[in-house]
Amino acid sequence: MSRRIILIVNAGSSSLKFSVFRLGDTDILQLAVRGQIDGIGTRPHLCVKDVTSAVVAERDFAIIEISNVQQAIWFAGDWLNEYFQDAQLLAVGHRVVHGGTDYSHPVLVDEAVFAALEQLIPLAPLHQPHNLAAIRVVREVQPQVPQIACFDTAFHRTHPQIADLYALPWKYYASGVRRYGFHGLSYEYIAATLPKVSPALAGGRVIAAHLGSGASLCAMQAGKSLDSTMGFSPLDGVPMGTRPGALDPGVLLYLINECGLSGADLEKLLYRESGLLGLSGISNDMRVLMESREPRAQLAIEYFLHYVIKQIGALAAVLGGIDGLVFTAGIGEHSPVIRARILQGCAWLGISVDAEANVRGGPRISMEDSPVAVWVIPTDEEWMIPRHTLALVFKKEKGYVN
């Protein structure tokens, strides 16, 4: 009997992440390899590691070899076919950033679903086209293989309506202009992990801070999302690597009417030229900024800290107080200095920090008697996708889905 595998794909604008999970005789998922092609269009580089983190493939490419995401997907597919020659590909699971109003759970992708997801490209132009490009390529190569879309917006569909509304005429809400929230796969992982890490906290009021190049915060009650800092698009909330976070809409009107920016100009400005990069003029990478002595680099850091602390306060008010705070993602997991600065600004919540534990990276970085427990929990968005994919494959085999 051939080995059964599930492929997981996370396609971005300049990188392609992929992983392969084996399905054992007891239908338990086991990670086999995890890889990434980054620098697409600039300095393409492939690195694949096995479950022990040993490198099993590594290669640099000329730009002409992998100049776009589609070419990266084709190459990764060829490599995987060679590496897993005797394996049966059961399904492919994809991270898709936007599910709109229709998709609150992972879904089997057919023609109708794919067409609906294409209509959401204007809501997430930096991510959605690349997510769908991966689905399109797999469909061309192996049309018989089920593909599952797992959405970053789905976890937030438990929001009360009041948290999703904008104060605009009702017709816009009815047409889909509302607060969706993002990073949902990351928050879903945190919610699923908390019962193992801290069972008492899992049923309480928790703010999860997904702080990375993309950043947001989520207010959770008993593992359900009640509110989040991102809204209609992944531009809202706290400042990010190249995205501004919350912005007075009057600024956009000014940029259009007085500065002559077009829609394309605004998209480039808001998605690629703002945030930490725009403020510092140096880099979108927090590590680079923290090493820099340039005043604008320090200003960008202070701005980031100010708005993260501000949003923690806002979400604490939504929850009526908090029992726990969780740091996750690149900055949240790996920067004890940023965590310490944020917690210093949140001292009014009664948080008592264990400085040594914070330097070590946790997992718990608050004192045992702290009224608010603070944890560092590494996120794994790509672990949620194979679980959802396998569940839908089994449902399909049993005839529960078409």
Between CA 339 and CA 332 the distance in angstroms is 7
The whole-number pLDDT of residue 1 equals 39
The pLDDT tens digits of the residues spanning 275-301 come to 999 999 999 999 999 999 999 999 999
The whole-number pLDDT of residue 397 equals 60
The first and second tokens of residue 323, run together, are 């029992």
Q: Is the pLDDT of residue 2 over 70?
A: no
The whole-number pLDDT of residue 396 equals 63
The whole-number pLDDT of residue 67 equals 82
Among residues 178, 216, 172, 168, the alpha carbon closest in space to that of 326 is found at 216
Active site residues: 152
Q: Is the pLDDT of residue 126 over 90?
A: no
Between CA 74 and CA 322 the distance in angstroms is 46
Q: Is the pLDDT of residue 41 over 80?
A: no
Q: CA torsion angle for 77, 36, 193, 224 (degrees, to 10)? A: -80
Any domain includes 13? yes
Q: Is the pLDDT of residue 46 over 60?
A: yes
Query: In sequence order, what are the beta bridge partners of 220?
Result: 206, 225
Q: Which residues contact 249 (CB under 8 A, 6 or more apart)?
A: none
Q: Is the pLDDT of residue 239 over 80?
A: yes
Instruction: Specify whether 128 is located in the same domain as 242.
Output: no
Q: In the chain, how many domains are there?
A: 2
Mean pLDDT of 125-144: 90
Any domain includes 137? yes
Q: Is the pLDDT of residue 68 over 90?
A: no
Any domain includes 188? no
The whole-number pLDDT of residue 125 equals 82
Task: CATH number of the domain at 58, please.
Answer: 3.30.420.40
Residue 365: give the domain boundaries: 199-381
Mean pLDDT of the chain: 92
The pLDDT tens digits of the residues spanning 176-222 come to 899 999 999 999 999 999 999 999 899 999 999 999 989 999 999 99
Mean pLDDT of 340-365: 96
Q: Which residues contact 7 (CB under 8 A, 6 or more apart)?
A: 18, 19, 20, 80, 89, 91, 92, 93
Between CA 24 and CA 10 the distance in angstroms is 23
Report the residue count for the chain: 402
Q: Is the pLDDT of residue 367 over 80?
A: yes
Instruction: Specify whether 98 is located in the same domain as 33.
Output: yes
Q: What percent of the chain has pLDDT over 70?
A: 98
DSSP state of 9: E
Mean pLDDT of 144-150: 94
Q: Among the listed ranges 122-131, 200-209, 316-325, which one has the minimum average pLDDT value?
A: 122-131
Any domain includes 185? no
Q: How confident is the model at residue 11 (pLDDT cuts 50, 70, 90)?
A: confident
- Residue showing tokens 């070590």: 360
Instruction: Specify whether 118 is located in the same domain as 235.
Output: no
Any domain includes 165? no
Any domain includes 75? yes
The whole-number pLDDT of residue 189 equals 95
The whole-number pLDDT of residue 357 equals 97
Any domain includes 360? yes
Q: Is the pLDDT of residue 259 over 70?
A: yes
The whole-number pLDDT of residue 78 equals 86
